[in-house]
Structure 1
Amino acid sequence: MKAMKRMTKVTFITFLCSLLLVACSQEEWQTTVDTDTSEAVFKLYDMNYSEGNSRVESRQESRYDRLEFYVVDENGDRVEDTKGKYNPATSEISMEGLHEGSYRLLVLGVKGDESKDRAVIYQPKHLSDAWLSFPEDLQKPLEAEYFYSQTPFTVSVRQTGTGNQEVAAIRQDVSQQRIIARADFEFGYANPYIRYAVTDKQLSFGEVYYCTTFAGDGSFSGQSDGVMKDLDLNENTSYLFMPLAGGSSLNGEVSLQIRSYRGETVRQVYAYRQEQLEGNHIHRIMTEVNHPDNHSAVMFVTKSAYQAGQYAKILQDDEPKEVYIDASQRKFNTAQPLQLSLTEEGKLHVRFYSPRDLGNVLIKARIPAVSSEYFDLAYFDTIPGFADFYETVPLVQRSSVCRLESGRQIQVPQFDVAQLSGIEFKVESSDPFWAKLQKIVHGWDICWGLYGGDPEKEDGGPVGNWMGIRPVHCRESVALFLNFTYMIDMPEHEQILRENSDKLYDDNKNPIEVERVLQQMRQKRTLVVGLVYPGNNVIGLGGGSTFGVYQQAWFEHYWNAFVCSVTFHELGHVMGYGHSSSFTYGPWAEQLMNNFYIDNISQFPIDSSTYLNSKSNPNRYK
């Protein structure tokens, strides 16, 4: 060393980036580095995972939670008489004190918490010494990722014009690769609905031996005890492992529990084997699921399948006015709020005019080309309120097995959509809500109109006594008329009319028989529903096919007797009565119907305002 009298210090920089590693401040860095000193600069990048036989060269700057590095000489011995510093802000490592010669930079980066892996990181003296190790009885996958690089470089000197010596600058990129492998456990489904019917996935291991020790030269050694705990694949299907010890394989069993729409449960076990686990590599371990319902004609739409499908809804706040006031696109009968059809493209269309979800729904179909019997076509765990579901039926995608209503199963070929003409539907559900909807016998047709108003204006663009109805009001009208048409067939409703028959009279004060009143309430009607502008001291309008109330009435019909009297006042006009009758400013509207509606709201299909929570909707008029 004494012969190197004029040896200049070397600044050696390796670039690494860290997300959580405590970084030196820029001020600290500037006080450490001598910017007049020639530098050897290395920038570190993380290489992306490779898959199959491909070697992906894409990379990204490193971000580590822990970083370890050191330099070895030509003999592999650690160079001790150097000063090194890491700057997370710039992803640089600075090494000072290196002299002319050949070296290797060794870098170990950790993403995650290595303590969860019970990892030990050593301070090796030689390239071949252990640097990282895991316990033999870890018996679980790794939770952190471990990156490594070994980069050779040479420090040389040159003569300056003044006869002095200086260290030649070095700049080089360094690619960090994971020393660990990733195993992804994947599943193939012949029937896409089976994917979302899996209720449990478990992974077990045979005797699997992993390397436990990693040295500075990149070599692996050691061996785990061969025992691995079972893993849950329900939430996570990707796991990290050290490479396999010599002669070992990743092997074991995958166990699946799958439910059917008929309430049955099937548990299946599949063996798997992976012969190699390569560092910085994704190994995809595929299990082809052979389920008894693979060829079923039933669309088994579980909650998770529905969520994955991201199906639309009708009458939502962002729906254009041109859509929701178009009766060809938005109209329903309260006795048939669940609308079913098969489109020209072979898709089952399910549209549901309801603020409430409907559970456990089995849709059956009868198609002459298939059978004279009804067969199971689709099962929904839940049909959400205001659902607008479109999905291609299996019958037009492949040959299928149909379960007939008699219990027989028949094999049918793939059909063209035209062959499915004449389809008839039938619905079954164990949901008590469905039982209530089935009791609506005398349905009214409901659609919506603006009556000159403009819902896109802040004040609703009032014209005369009307303002622009918005979807938040349309949804409430669905609730109101489902409840009203349910109410008119209730025995209790008929009873209260009979008990108060003396309070039923027309505009000339002539008595109206109960049977006549019931007939008027139960006859087929079509209403174009709007929103009344209260600025003219008018809070309701009705007559013929026209019906509207002011905003407060739409939001408070569940509990407010006054707004209910306004609602029934306008329904009295719809039934053909004027202001001198009991059906407007009289006992039918202001005593009997309004109070009966509120007192019996718990029995109605839409029994609570919480389904819609319209008063808190930001799209209501202020």
Structure 2
Amino acid sequence: MKTKTNPLKRLTVLSLVLLTFGCSKKELEPVETGPVTPTYSFTGTTADELMFEDGEAMSVMTSENRRFDISKVLRVTAVNNTTIEVANFAPVDITDATILATIKGQPQKIQLFHIGTIKGHRVKQIPYPFITGQTEYLDVNNKKVDLSAYKTIGISAAEISFEFTGNTPLIEKLKKLNIMKWQPKMHDFDPQNLDNNWLDEPTAKEFRMFTGFMINFAYMYTDDTMRNRIVNEYVIGNDGVTPLTTAEKEADWIKAQTRTKINCGLTDTRKVTGLGGGSTFGIPDWVTLNFMTNSYTTPFHEMGHVLGYNHSSSMTYPQNKHGNVPVFMARQDEMNLAGDFPVRLANYYKPDDIPAPKKSTTAVVETAKIGEICIQ
């Protein structure tokens, strides 16, 4: 006759076996963790931390220090051996960015600090984190790096450079601008308020919006769809007759990407709509204020002048509905509708700046055509 085993007894025996086995194993060693990258947020409201704020002096808003590299709208620069300046030249808040430092003598880029948030058009000077805080950091391969040698003397500005990285959708868009060489700066081209083609009193609001426009405009020159359409478009050269070759259009695309200094100004629309040529790029305020909802002829026309084309070329004025301008305008509308641009209605940092959307009319477009001027 079979004897039944008590289930409770079996459970007790099994528990004792497991306990004995568990006690006989060596306890797990604690896992060593690397240094934590320090985190900062830049959300200040004091005058020295705000850029293009209402009431800011024109001389400050148009100073050479406000010229920015379109590929580094989140800019970190060395002020001296112990101090750096962190600036966001975009009119949008940037979150979850990591600042990488390349230091002479160090084999890898170093994850110097993390930015939780930097609000639009903010600037702040801070000491290097290794001077006031920790001295151990991680490089881009997550290997530990000791920066204690720099704690007292700092680092010469000539021996360090910075870049930002991150994987948010906004940062991924901004990183696409790495191929662009543009260096925009806002200008008051009529400081004496003379009777000419430039707006007498450009405002901080117009400059805020202008920076956003330039970022989005540059972004179009990173767009493969835009490039393919332009390269395949029928475009007439400066003689008004001869079409540009594929090679010439490809060269113009690269030429546009590699422009450096671009001096941005607002035009007096009572006289002209746009002014462009050389390093000068002038557009009306209604373009800067509405670029997130409407496309206009003026910016693309003026860029044609910047690239060296005259009014006989369809790089400035369309011919038989073909040319640079209509192709760019159509693609801008598509990208706005898809929310593809870095600066959008949804993330612009001062919603009160944005006027109620207006539909562009035939009259507005025709006025733009009449008023645009080429600066030779």
Q: TM-score, normalised by structure 1?
A: 0.46
Distance of 2:57 and 2:36 partners within structure 1: 36
Higher RCO, Cα 8 Å, sep 6+: 2
1:518 aligns with 2:253: yes
Match of 2:310 in 1: 578
Distance of 1:408 and 1:583 partners within structure 2: 51
1:565 aligns with 2:304: no
Match of 2:98 in 1: 362
Distance of 1:353 and 1:398 partners within structure 2: 27
* Aligned ranges 1:173-192 → 2 under 5 Å: none
Contact between 1:572 and 1:583, CA under 8 Å: does it hold in 2?
Answer: yes
* Aligned ranges 1:203-282 → 2 under 5 Å: none
Tell me by how many angstroms 1:485 deviates.
1.6
**Cα distance change on mapping 1:518 and 1:410 into 2, 3 Å:** closer
Tell me by how many angstroms 1:495 deviates.
1.9
Match of 2:39 in 1: 300
**Cα distance change on mapping 1:508 and 1:322 into 2, 3 Å:** same
Distance of 2:185 and 2:55 partners within structure 1: 18
**Cα distance change on mapping 1:480 and 1:434 into 2, 3 Å:** same
1:446 aligns with 2:184: yes
SS at match of 1:570: helix
Contact between 1:572 and 1:584, CA under 8 Å: does it hold in 2?
Answer: yes
Match of 2:16 in 1: none
Partner residue of 2:57 out of 301, 320, 323: 320
Q: Which amino acid aligns with 2:184?
A: I
* Aligned ranges 1:94-493 → 2 under 5 Å: 298-302=37-41, 306-307=42-43, 312-327=49-64, 329-344=65-80, 346-368=82-104, 371-397=106-132, 400-411=135-146, 412=148, 414-418=151-155, 422-440=159-177, 441-453=179-191, 461=193, 463-467=195-199, 468-493=201-226
Q: Which amino acid aligns with 2:273?
A: I
**Cα distance change on mapping 1:585 and 1:322 into 2, 3 Å:** same
SS at match of 1:381: strand
Which runs of 5 or more residues in structure 2 are unaligned?
A: 1-32, 357-376
Distance of 1:553 and 1:570 partners within structure 2: 13
Contact between 1:453 and 1:466, CA under 8 Å: does it hold in 2?
Answer: no
Match of 1:506 in 2: 238
Distance of 1:567 and 1:419 partners within structure 2: 41
Q: Give deviations 1:456-475, integer Å, cap 9, x for gaps.
A: xxxxx353011232221222
Distance of 1:398 and 1:590 partners within structure 2: 53
**Cα distance change on mapping 1:527 and 1:374 into 2, 3 Å:** closer
Distance of 2:45 and 2:344 partners within structure 1: 29
Partner residue of 1:592 out of 327, 344, 348: 327
SS at match of 1:396: helix
SS at match of 2:159: coil
1:546 aligns with 2:261: no
Contact between 2:44 and 2:122, CA under 8 Å: does it hold in 1?
Answer: no
Distance of 1:509 and 1:608 partners within structure 2: 41
Distance of 2:346 and 2:78 partners within structure 1: 33
* Aligned ranges 1:532-543 → 2 under 5 Å: 532-536=267-271, 538-543=272-277
Distance of 1:482 and 1:346 partners within structure 2: 31
Contact between 1:376 and 1:405, CA under 8 Å: does it hold in 2?
Answer: yes
Contact between 2:80 and 2:157, CA under 8 Å: does it hold in 1?
Answer: no
Distance of 2:306 and 2:140 partners within structure 1: 43
Match of 1:496 in 2: 229
SS at match of 1:463: coil
Distance of 1:309 and 1:553 partners within structure 2: 28
Contact between 1:354 and 1:479, CA under 8 Å: does it hold in 2?
Answer: yes
Q: Give deviations 1:11-54, integer Å, cap 9, x for gaps.
A: xxxxxxxxxxxxxxxxxxxxxxxxxxxxxxxxxxxxxxxxxxxx
Contact between 1:368 and 1:422, CA under 8 Å: does it hold in 2?
Answer: yes
Which runs of 5 or more residues in structure 1 are unaligned?
A: 1-291, 455-460, 618-622
Distance of 2:277 and 2:160 partners within structure 1: 38
Contact between 1:359 and 1:383, CA under 8 Å: does it hold in 2?
Answer: yes
**Cα distance change on mapping 1:399 and 1:443 into 2, 3 Å:** closer
**Cα distance change on mapping 1:535 and 1:404 into 2, 3 Å:** closer
Tell me by how many angstroms 1:399 deviates.
6.2
Contact between 1:443 and 1:485, CA under 8 Å: does it hold in 2?
Answer: no
User: Matched residues, percent identical?
Assistant: 21
SS at match of 1:366: strand
SS at match of 1:323: helix
Contact between 2:274 and 2:283, CA under 8 Å: does it hold in 1?
Answer: yes
Tell me by how many angstroms 1:515 deviates.
1.5
Q: Give the count of matched residue pairs.
A: 309
Distance of 2:282 and 2:116 partners within structure 1: 36
**Cα distance change on mapping 1:516 and 1:389 into 2, 3 Å:** same
Q: Which amino acid aligns with 1:597?
A: Q
Contact between 1:558 and 1:609, CA under 8 Å: does it hold in 2?
Answer: no
**Cα distance change on mapping 1:566 and 1:366 into 2, 3 Å:** closer
SS at match of 2:98: strand
Partner residue of 1:555 out of 263, 274, 289: 289
Q: Give deviations 1:503-524, integer Å, cap 9, x for gaps.
A: 4433432111221331332232
Q: Which amino acid aligns with 1:475?
A: R
**Cα distance change on mapping 1:378 and 1:551 into 2, 3 Å:** same
Q: Give deviations 1:521-548, integer Å, cap 9, x for gaps.
A: 2232322111111222x11111111111
Tell me by how many angstroms 1:395 deviates.
2.0
Q: Which amino acid aligns with 1:447?
A: K
Contact between 1:299 and 1:393, CA under 8 Å: does it hold in 2?
Answer: no
Q: Give deviations 1:174-195, integer Å, cap 9, x for gaps.
A: xxxxxxxxxxxxxxxxxxxxxx
- Larger gyration radius, structure 1 or structure 2: 1
Match of 1:201 in 2: none
Higher helix residue share? 2
Q: TM-score, normalised by structure 2?
A: 0.74
**Cα distance change on mapping 1:520 and 1:309 into 2, 3 Å:** closer
Distance of 1:309 and 1:396 partners within structure 2: 25
Contact between 2:37 and 2:112, CA under 8 Å: does it hold in 1?
Answer: yes
